[in-house]
Structure 1
Amino acid sequence: MEPRTYNQLRPGYRWERQLVFRSKLTLHTAFDRKDNAHPAEISALAISKDHSKMLVGDGRGRVFSWSVSDQPGRSAADHWVKDEVVDSCSGCTLRFSLTERRHHCRNCGQLFCQKCSRFQSEIKRLKISSPVRVCQNCYYNLQHERGSEEGPRN
């Protein structure tokens, strides 16, 4: 057998160009933050057949669906994760059942148990002016945004 250089292929094989998307993704759960009790690395990425959503799977078995907006800077109207896609809480991994209901965070759209979605907040970017159910991470982020908008108090 004669030696091959790195660009020579066996007979019957051919080179094919392939575009590979490489990026570091961090979920809204703030992977690197110290206050994230359950971080998980991304383990799978997929783009929907109609190219309207990106599906992201993490090491804890959660699946996130990111919708692509028609208008830059605006989120798609349907940003909720579908009930049948997730079988456990995105916050504490408690399995959903007949007695443990799923609750959507109105801000991020992820599914949580009652305990992990017990927070309430207005969501200005979605034009929601009365308090609605949100997860703990979104609650703290929304409160921080609200505090930043109001500015320092005397």
Structure 2
Amino acid sequence: MSRMQGYSVFDFVFMYMKLGLINLQLLLQVDYGYTFGFQTIFHFLTYVWPGVNDSLGIEFQDYKWFWNPALYFASYGYLDFGYFVLLLYSFLGALSAFFDTGVKRNNSKVLISLYFVFLYAVASLFTVPVIRGVEFVLAVLLASFFAIFLVKKV
């Protein structure tokens, strides 16, 4: 609260939205090693197996953050894959198109459930992404389980 004294709600929202870009700029200025997916798609493994980084020899650098280490998907993807993160965006677009056309064509309950979880993940990419938490993996597994259970039941 002491950091935000004298700030209006608009100032707070503006600061929050620009933190990811400022911290991405800091990442672009620093030489670092890639984290090979352990900031995005494999991050849940760090909850299950805390020593995975040491076992694989991956080092996470400490960065001088602007305010809080607020990184959004572009920054986490850049830490993992560098500029190849643009290919990841293309893959996410193709996956979205696959889900969208699949749901329109065959109306599968399993596909609809997975599409919902996918959209939930994509909607969170503009803040700290939900894919960084172990609960995302649990959400995918639960959605898949319940969808399969409902399909068998019906």
Return the TM-score normalized by structure 1.
0.27
- Higher relative helix content: 2
Of structures 1 and 2, the one scoring higher in RCO (CA 8 A, sep 6+) is 2
- Higher relative strand content: 1
Return the TM-score normalized by structure 2.
0.27
